[in-house]
């Protein structure tokens, strides 16, 4: 029994001596080398052409931690390890495997996870790997992107921002799930459905799209998109899916803007404003009924000449200038059959509609009322003016007077008085109608 004990002690001592010999070096007795007898660069130096340099685990089939050189990249394995060929990855235990890899060539850290479909202990990873996040040598962070090109570079990932109550407030969608481009969604407080949606591409893939949504009905209230024919804005009534106002940057043939008002019940246009109607080069408004609230007469623009020391003023009667085609002159002949109208704007009564053709003979500087109600400069010195009286031109430049010679007044009447002027000079409200 004693002999056996002495033999065991001698064998144990021999292994201890062998162990110390193998893990010592002549250069530095405090450094330990595995795979090298000259561990000069570290307290523990491991050199291995194949396999994992270090594995730590509880059992031979449990999860653990590894360090290896895979494809010349230093790699930390979390429940993962390198294959003996140093060109692929494997599992330590069951479950997922993660790897933190550094590339000396690009200076980039990559973290990726292995497919769990064949996750059994100590087998090769067969499902491939995909980068989950990476950090480049420039400090760029990539999520799903192994080579980030910006400070934050996402590939196939969405961004979610929550408020303090863990409810979504903003979502940034990458467009990799069937959408035609990136998308931003904004959520009202506590709402599960977005109220503002901004898309990089609309349904036909030809332009961006912004939609405002009623959270109670989940229907659009306004939509703006960049369609193939130009930008477009649509407005929707409450709870309806069909727009009632459409504003287009270009009409159907791409020649001019349009504003359309639509009756949702019949889907028919009730008003149309076109910047180039039927490619005519002219704008047009099409409407069933037009109500004007800011004026009371219909006027055309004319250039007006005046006698010496006279200035054309609102309320003055004007006649056709027989010496200047297309122009008018301040009236100064009694019962002038050339009388044409009244300069609009006297006493604050403005024209409700004006016409003129710019840069042609049918244009001018003064709006001249040819129908409607208008204040007229009148002279009642000889004959008082009462409502219903017919008015004509007088010898006083621009002034009207009561017509008393009906034979001479034929063709020289400017209209009928609607207010009274007992004497002297003043303003009379007149219903214009030359005859």
Give the rounded percent of residues in the chain with a pLDDT score beyond 90: 35
Q: Say what the pTM is.
A: 0.60
> Which residues form the domain of 181?
170-287
Question: In this structure, is residue 240 part of a structural domain?
Answer: yes
* Same domain as 223, residue 184: yes
**Torsion on CA atoms 188, 190, 191, 196, rounded to nearest 10:** 20
Calculate the average pLDDT of the chain: 83
* Same domain as 116, residue 178: no
Q: What is the pLDDT of residues 340-377, one digit of tens each?
A: 999 999 999 999 999 999 999 999 999 999 999 999 99
**Phi, psi angle pair for 20, to nearest 5°:** -65, -35
Question: In this structure, is residue 142 part of a structural domain?
Answer: yes
* Same domain as 422, residue 308: yes
Going by the DSSP 8-state scheme, the letter that residue 307 receives in this structure is: -
Q: Which of 26-30, 97-101, 112-116, 313-317 has the lowest mean pLDDT?
A: 26-30
Q: What is the pLDDT of residue 29?
A: 58
* Same domain as 307, residue 278: no
Question: In this structure, is residue 162 part of a structural domain?
Answer: no
Mean pLDDT of 27-50: 79
Strand segments (E) across 252-359:
258-263, 268-274, 284-287, 297-302, 304-305, 317-320, 328-330, 339-343, 351-355
Q: Which of 11-25, 49-63, 360-374 has the lowest mean pLDDT?
A: 11-25
* Same domain as 370, residue 262: no
**Of 10-19, 109-118, 131-140, highest mean pLDDT:** 131-140
Q: What is the pLDDT of residue 274?
A: 86
* Same domain as 318, residue 411: yes
* Same domain as 303, residue 420: yes
* Same domain as 252, residue 197: yes
Q: What is the pLDDT of residues 182-214, one digit of tens each?
A: 888 888 877 788 888 888 776 655 678 888 888
Going by the DSSP 8-state scheme, the letter that residue 165 receives in this structure is: T
129 sits in which H/E element: strand 129-135
Q: 248: domain CATH number?
A: 3.90.930.1
The residue that leads in pLDDT, 68 or 116, is 68
Tally of domains in the chain: 4
Q: What is the pLDDT of residue 19?
A: 45
Q: Give whole-number Cα distances, 91 to 48, 74, 76, 119, 428, in Å.
A: 20, 17, 13, 7, 103
Q: What residue has token string 């036909």?
A: 204
Looking at 51-189, list the stretches that DSSP marks H as alpha helix, in order from N- to C-terminal side: none
**Phi, psi angle pair for 18, to nearest 5°:** -65, -40
């Amino acid at each position: 029994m004693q002999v056996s004990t002495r033999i065991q002690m001698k064998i144990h001592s021999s292994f201890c001596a062998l162990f110390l010999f193998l893990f010592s070096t002549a250069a530095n007795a405090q450094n330990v080398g595995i795979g090298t007898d000259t561990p000069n660069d570290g307290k523990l130096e491991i050199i291995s052409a194949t396999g994992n340099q270090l594995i730590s685990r509880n059992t031979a089939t449990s999860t653990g931690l590894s360090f290896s050189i895979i494809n010349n990249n230093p790699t930390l394995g979390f429940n993962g390890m390198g294959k003996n060929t140093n060109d692929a990855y494997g599992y330590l235990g069951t479950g997922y495997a993660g790897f933190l890899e550094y590339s000396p060539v690009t200076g980039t850290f990559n973290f990726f996870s292995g497919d769990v479909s064949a996750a059994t202990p100590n087998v090769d990873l067969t499902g491939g790997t995909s980068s989950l996040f990476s950090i480049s040598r420039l400090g760029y962070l990539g999520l799903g992107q192994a080579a980030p090109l910006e400070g934050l570079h996402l590939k196939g990932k969405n961004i979610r921002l929550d408020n303090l109550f863990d409810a979504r407030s903003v979502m940034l969608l990458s467009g990799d799930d069937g959408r035609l481009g990136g998308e931003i969604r904004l959520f009202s407080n506590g709402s599960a459905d977005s109220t503002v949606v901004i898309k990089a591409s609309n349904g036909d893939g030809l332009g961006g799209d912004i939609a405002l949504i009623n959270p109670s009905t989940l229907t659009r209230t306004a939509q703006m998109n960049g369609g193939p024919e130009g930008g477009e804005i649509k407005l929707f009534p409450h709870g309806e899916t069909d727009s009632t106002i459409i504003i287009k940057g270009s009409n159907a043939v791409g020649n001019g803007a349009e504003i359309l008002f639509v009756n949702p019940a019949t889907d028919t246009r009730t008003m149309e404003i076109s910047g180039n109607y039927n490619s005519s080069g002219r704008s047009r408004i099409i409407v069933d009924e037009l109500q004007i609230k800011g004026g009371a007469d219909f006027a055309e623009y004319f250039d007006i000449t005046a006698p010496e020391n006279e200035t054309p003023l609102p309320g003055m009667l004007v006649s056709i200038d027989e010496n200047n085609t297309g122009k008018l002159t301040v009236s100064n002949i009694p019962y002038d059959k050339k009388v044409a109208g009244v300069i609009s704007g006297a006493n604050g009564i403005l024209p409700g509609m004006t016409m003129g053709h710019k840069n042609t003979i049918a244009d001018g500087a003064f709006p001249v009322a040819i129908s409607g109600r208008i204040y007229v400069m009148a002279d009642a010195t000889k004959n008082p003016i009462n409502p219903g009286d017919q008015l004509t031109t007088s010898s006083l430049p621009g002034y009207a007077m009561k017509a008393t010679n009906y034979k001479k007044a034929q063709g020289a009447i400017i209209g009928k008085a609607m207010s009274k002027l007992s004497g002297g000079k003043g303003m009379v409200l007149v219903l214009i109608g030359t005859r």
